Amino acid sequence: MNDATAYQKFARETLGIEFKNINLLITAFTHRSYLNEHKKTVFEHNERLEFLGDAVLELVVTEYLFINYREQEGVLTNWRSALVRTESISAAAQRGQFEAMLRLSRGERRGTRRAREQILANSFEAVVGAIYLDQGYLVAKEYIDRTIVSTFKDILNNGTWIDPKSQLQEVIQSREGLTPIYKVIVEEGPDHDKSFTVGVYIGGKLIGQGSGPSKQAGQQQAASEALQSYLNQD
């Protein structure tokens, strides 16, 4: 089975979509690293599609929240962030069996769990971009509704929409009278693919750390880890 046939089969059976231009979907699953090992046969990676898909995803989620809920902007913003953050869309990619379709370099295939989570999230956005270009907004919206928006009630029920940094700050200030401090511990990778490991400290003591493609993402991950550890002491 050649690439086009395999991806068309995946699109039809897993995504529920019949692509007109299957090369869009193939590109959506092509990581930048794959080009380095296939320079003579592959000429495009998924970052432009990811850029487009990110915008479509945010629009669909924003539209859904605006139409269905009357809460103030700050609450709606937190809800939207919970729906489109790396963990949420990576989980959707895993449920959609994206991992088997990824085109990665050998080195990336041996990467950390967190790095793979980010790659899956990026590929999900790229696939949304490919669907939008190939099928239009309504089909892209239906796919996002089915895979992302459908998880919103669970997010509401388990409280994961609450911003970890804000929640940690409230807990620490009420119990300790201190403000958490965030510091970058490690910064690595080329400019186009940075990874930041961030620590969160209280009174000079490290209480959690996390990694992400930006300092903000690392801070959120560190806050989430610290919050779980801190609350487990109760």
Q: What is the domain range of residue 113?
A: 3-157
pLDDT of residue 231: 62
pLDDT tens per residue across span 170-196: 888 888 889 999 999 999 888 777 889
pLDDT of residue 217: 84
SS (H, E, C) the chain: CCHHHHHHHHHHHHHCCCCCCHHHHHHHCECHHHHHHCCCCCCCCCHHHHHHHHHHHHHHHHHHHHHHCCCCHHHHHHHHHHHHCHHHHHHHHHHCCCHHHCECCHHHHCCCHHHHHHHHHHHHHHHHHHHHHHHCHHHHHHHHHHHCHHHHHHHHHHCCCCCHHHHHHHHHHHHHCCCCEEEEEEEECCHHHCEEEEEEEECCEEEEEEEECCHHHHHHHHHHHHHHHHHCCC
- Please compute the mean of the pLDDT values over residues 157-161 and round it to a whole number: 69
pLDDT of residue 161: 65
Output the domain CATH number for residue 190: 3.30.160.20
173 and 132 share one domain:
no
84 and 151 share one domain:
yes
Question: Which residue in the list 50, 108, 117, 125 is annotated as catalytic?
Answer: 125
54 is catalytic: yes
Between CA 48 and CA 52 the distance in angstroms is 6
pLDDT score of 1 more than 60:
no
195 and 174 share one domain:
yes
106 and 43 share one domain:
yes
139 and 170 share one domain:
no
pLDDT score of 229 more than 80:
no
pLDDT tens per residue across span 64-122: 999 999 999 988 988 998 899 888 999 999 999 999 999 999 888 887 777 888 899 99
168 and 60 share one domain:
no
pLDDT score of 233 more than 70:
no
11 and 123 share one domain:
yes
102 and 179 share one domain:
no
Q: Would the pTM count as exceeding 0.85?
A: no
pLDDT score of 127 more than 60:
yes
172 and 97 share one domain:
no
- Lowest-confidence range among 33-37, 115-119, 198-202, 229-233? 229-233
User: Of 117, 138, 157, which residue is a domain's last?
Assistant: 157
Question: Which residue in the list 54, 117, 134, 225 is annotated as catalytic?
Answer: 54
150 and 172 share one domain:
no
105 and 193 share one domain:
no
pLDDT of residue 10: 97
Overall domain count for the chain: 2
pLDDT tens per residue across span 21-72: 999 999 999 999 998 889 888 899 999 999 999 999 999 999 999 999 999 9
pLDDT score of 160 more than 80:
no
User: Of 157, 191, 218, which residue is a domain's last?
Assistant: 157
More confident residue, 168 or 234: 168
